[in-house]
Amino acid sequence: MAKFLNELVFRIIWDELMPVGQLKMDPLFTTAHRLLQLLYQRNSRRRFAPDEHWIMNEAKGSSFFNELKEKRSNAQQLLTYAPHCIPHHDRVKLFRQWIKEERATHQDASVTPILITVQRKRIVEDGYQHISQLTPEELKGVIRVRFINAEGVAEAGIDQDGVFKEFLEETIKRVFDPNLHLFKTTVDNRIYPSPTSNVQDNHLELISFVGRVLGKAVYEGIVVDVPLANFFLSHILRFHTVNPVFSYFDELASFDADLYRNLSTLKRYPGDVAELGLNFTCDEDRLGQIISHDLGADGGDREVTEENKILYIHYMAHFRMHQQIKDQLKAFIQGFLSIVKPEWVAIFSPPELQKLISGDSQSIDLRDLRKHTSYYGGFHSSHRVVGWLWDVLEKDFTEEERGLFLKFVTSCSKPPLLGFAYLDPPFSIRCVEVGEDQDSGDTLGSVFRGFFTIGKKKGTTGRLPTSSTCFNLLKLPNYPKKSILREKLRYAIRSNSGFELS
């Protein structure tokens, strides 16, 4: 069924069997398209077919891009009605191309970068104050950050893009902390807006700020470990407004698995539902206070019966995933889509949007990472310690440990969607032979010693590797033995201390 409908919809669009203006009105096309959407969305929630099942050969690579370049209507309509027929990799390339074209206008060399000053102990408050004053067009431009440390002294690195990356990462990490009450997590630790966010002053403005910051991260191609609930991703894609077959009940499992099971049991209840004594209300625990909400007009006086139980189930799902957080959803989505255009992300499914935010869930390609790694401080691709490092990662570390290693250096455990060639700043490894307070960077002496592996400083064997996640930089001591490197690196990546651990 899915294969037939996919082929039918694709052929009508690609072979231009109908005029563009007729697609929305033709009963054959609209019916086939809705059924196809139902099946594809079902596959996105719980896969029953591989990715290749949906891909059409004519929509692969150069064939599609040539049609799009020539502004053929079939390519444009395919992006609108059936983008899943295009390989995901190609859609990501197209997404980055759209941003590249727009960035050329916002990040022109003649445009002066915007400088914001942020105290580390007030990173969220200061960031909110500065970014909230910027227009979306300004935020899409180049932003420079000057950090002020705890002693009130400006830190070095103001002109480096990595400092802004650090600002984004630290801000996102803090604002999504459930203890801030702006967001909550499901039982499987997926994030969604909290219905009790109003405990924070200006909570909607703060949530909109979070949306803008996450949108900026996606815009700049900075991957961050922010796992969003599937229903939340569907809201960002505006499925509830643009998709005629969107169902809150179908999304409920990603929000509250227990409630989904209970309502599913109610749906199949063998007896008379009226015996359960239910009515059209929903009780909410709001900071210890139980508040009852009517599901529809006069819900408290309306009993749940066999005739209306399906309506009750959908009302309940709608309330939990939309009604009680509609203001928070609106604020976040407005912020996010002010940076990333809705038509750009509309070509992705919810799981694919999650990949845009947090990177690829596939295994880390060490060969690709090694190919796109830069070396400093005397290290080079043929250096003995560098060879040990790649050997340890490939042969001694588990897949989990390789993810921890990547997170230790870049702050995200998943690789970029299009590979490490797109990691910005590039992945780098620098030889560190002395204490951090004595490290003066790359010198002629350090380069000479690195190439000939002589003259190593004493004390490197006891030192742990460190990282500067804002620059995707691993600082690796010049260890004398592979076993020492393995032991120290494994300890460092599991310590959760990460940045500048020594």
DSSP string, 135-169: -HHHHTS-EEEEEE-TTSPBPS-TT-HHHHHHHHH
Question: What is the DSSP pairing of strand 427-432 with strand 473-477?
Answer: parallel
Spacing of C-alpha 101 from chain mean position = 22
* Spatial distance between the Cα atoms of 373 and 427, rounded to a whole number of angstroms: 5
Interacting residues of 445 by C-beta distance below 8 A, sequence separation 6+: 455
Coil vs helix vs strand at 155: coil
Catalytic residue at 431? no
SS3 76: helix
What CA–CA distance (Å, rounded) separates 246 from 239? 6
DSSP secondary structure, 236-281, as one string: HTTHHHH-TT--HHHHGGGT-HHHHHHHHHHHT-SS-GGGG--BSE
Q: Which residues pair with 144 in a beta bridge?
A: 115
Q: Do 377 and 432 touch, CB atoms closer than 8 A?
A: yes
Written as six digits, the tokens of 426 are 């590039």
DSSP-assigned letter for residue 393: I
φ, ψ of residue 322 in degrees (nearest 5): -140, -60
Q: 356 and 218 in contact (C-beta within 8 Å)? A: yes
Place of tokens 């059924």: 35
Q: Give Cβ neighbours of residue 209 (< 8 Å, ≥ 6 apart).
A: 127, 128, 131, 132, 175, 335
Residue 291, classified by CB atoms within 10 Å of its CB into exposed (0-12), middle (13-18) or buried (19+), is: exposed
Q: Does residue 428 sit in helix, strand or coil?
A: strand
**Residue 373 gets which letter from DSSP?**
E
- The answer to whether the Cα torsion of 493, 362, 474, 171 is positive or negative is negative
Q: Look-up: residue for tokens 């204490």?
A: 435
| 289 phi and psi angles, rounded to 5 deg | -105, 125
- Between strands 143-148 and 183-185, the pairing is unpaired
Distances, alpha carbon 255 to alpha carbons 103, 189, 198, 300, 443, in Å:
36, 10, 20, 25, 54
Please tell me the distance from the alpha carbon of residue 164 to that of residue 170, in angstroms, as a whole number.
10
Angle between helical axes of 88-106 and 61-69 (0-180°, round to 10): 40
How far from the centroid of its chain's Cα atoms is residue 355's Cα? 6
Cα–Cα dist 145/165, whole Å: 9
Question: Catalytic site residues?
Answer: 470
